[in-house]
């Protein structure tokens, strides 16, 4: 009798919560389809192809671990990995240092600050191909803008991209120039530090250097950590800039043959899709291991502005 008085419960799909759930799934359905078709599907396919011989024409042929055995006996694998590591080791810290220093300057209250911030950030939003084309003109050895300026000062400019010794520093210089994205993140972190900390330290007699050492730097370590992780991941996957600067040829004596260029060569020049897929998965493992190492070591130097309660 009580059940009759309460009425028959509505089906879940006809309730407000059910209708909201249906609307939610309909809204995210395009993303799910796109992720499945263009991201998850290729990831699964590349994992399977890494154990096969596949040339885009003939059916795949299972090889087992032969692709990985060949990869680790390939001299160009070590050359491309060294070139990539060289750029990562120098470009990431130098880019972060330049971005951090610029963020400190742009965090000051001066006239025209918005214009300065915009000017520094613009290079990071210029398409990579356009940036590389611009720097081809700047770094041209004979009539380039940079060597022209150096010759005006009486200095003989280097060969830049045409030189084995200067080709990788040229790429690093371009990456530092386009580090405005990291600067914006650093600037957001600086503006998130409570002003009360600086006021209290100033009352206690701390000078600017002390305030930076004991307030700014410790509270910026989470932002530094984020930029470090993202910088390492992104730099390991550098491709378009190097491809345009060197026409995909790897530079003099393969000095700019970075890892993704070598993957591209095997996949689309030599049509060795299976071998290229094995290279991609090796890169995934390397990036994963380095990221895990960074997270494991972060507890020793990253400080968060939160109170921890020991249980």
Closest CA to 265 of 48, 78, 53, 77: 77
For the chain, the structural domain boundaries read 8-49, 68-298
Residue 266 tokens read as 């095997």
Helices (H) and strands (E) in the chain, counts: 16, 2
Is pLDDT above 90 for 61? yes
pLDDT of residue 231: 95
Domain 68-298 belongs to what topology? MetI-like fold (1.10.3720)
Taking 70 as the threshold, does the pLDDT of residue 254 lie above it?
yes
pLDDT bin (cut points 50, 70, 90) of residue 121 is confident
If DSSP codes are grouped into helix, strand and coil, which group holds residue 62? Answer: strand
Residue 3 confidence class, pLDDT cut points 50, 70, 90: very low
Q: Are 271 and 265 a contacting pair, CB within 8 Å? A: no
Phi-psi label, residue 250: left if phi above 0, alpha if psi -120 to 50, beta otherwise: left
Looking at residue 234, what is its pLDDT? 94
Q: Is the pLDDT of residue 125 over 90?
A: no
Measure the CA–CA gap between 187 and 297, rounded to whole angstroms.
Answer: 24
For tokens 């730099």, name the residue.
235
The pLDDT score that the predictor gives to residue 11 is 78
The CA-atom distances, in angstroms, between 47 and each of 152, 273, 276 are 54, 11, 11
Q: Which of 161-165, 199-203, 223-227, 306-310 has the lowest mean pLDDT?
A: 306-310
Q: By C-alpha distance, which of 274, 262, 229, 232 is closest to 81?
A: 262
214 CB contacts (<8 Å, ≥6 apart)?
A: 201, 206
What is the mean predicted confidence (pLDDT) over 300-307? 78
What average pLDDT does the segment 290-311 reach?
78
Q: What is the mean pLDDT of the chain?
A: 89
Give dist(CA 152, CA 167) in Å, integer: 22
- Cα–Cα dist 210/132, whole Å: 41
pLDDT bin (cut points 50, 70, 90) of residue 90 is very high
Q: Quick check: 275 pLDDT over 70? A: yes
Look at 44-58, 102-116, 147-161, 258-272 and tell me which has the smallest mean pLDDT: 102-116
Q: What is the pLDDT of residue 2?
A: 47
Q: What pLDDT is stored for residue 6 in this prediction?
A: 55
């Amino acid at each position: 009798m009580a059940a009759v008085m309460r009425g028959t419960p509505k089906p879940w799909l006809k309730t407000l919560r059910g209708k909201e759930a249906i609307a939610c799934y309909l809204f995210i359905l395009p993303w799910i389809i796109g992720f499945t078709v263009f991201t998850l599907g290729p990831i699964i396919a590349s994992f399977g192809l890494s154990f096969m011989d596949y040339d885009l024409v003939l059916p795949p042929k299972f090889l087992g671990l032969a692709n990985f055995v060949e990869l680790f006996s390939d001299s160009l694998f070590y050359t491309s990995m060294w070139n990539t590591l060289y750029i990562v080791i120098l470009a990431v810290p130098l880019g972060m240092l330049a971005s951090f220093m610029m963020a400190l300057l742009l965090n000051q209250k001066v006239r025209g600050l918005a214009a300065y911030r915009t000017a520094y950030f613009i290079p990071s939003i210029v398409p990579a191909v356009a940036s590389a084309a611009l720097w081809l003109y700047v770094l041209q050895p004979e009539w380039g803008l940079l060597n022209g300026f150096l010759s005006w000062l009486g200095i003989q400019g280097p060969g830049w991209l045409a030189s084995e010794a200067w080709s990788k520093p040229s790429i690093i210089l371009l990456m530092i120039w386009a580090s405005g994205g990291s600067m914006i993140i650093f600037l957001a972190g600086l503006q998130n530090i409570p002003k009360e900390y600086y006021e209290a330290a100033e009352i206690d007699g701390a000078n600017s250097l002390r305030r930076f050492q004991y307030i700014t730097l410790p509270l910026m370590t989470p932002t530094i950590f984020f930029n470090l992780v993202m910088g390492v991941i992104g730099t390991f996957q550098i491709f378009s800039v190097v491809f345009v600067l060197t026409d995909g040829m790897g530079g003099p004596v393969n000095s700019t043959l970075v890892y993704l260029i070598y993957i591209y060569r095997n996949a689309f020049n030599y049509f060795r899709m299976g071998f290229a897929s094995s290279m991609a998965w090796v890169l995934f493992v390397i990036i994963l291991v380095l990221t895990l190492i960074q997270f494991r070591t972060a507890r020793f130097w990253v400080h968060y502005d939160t109170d921890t309660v020991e249980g």
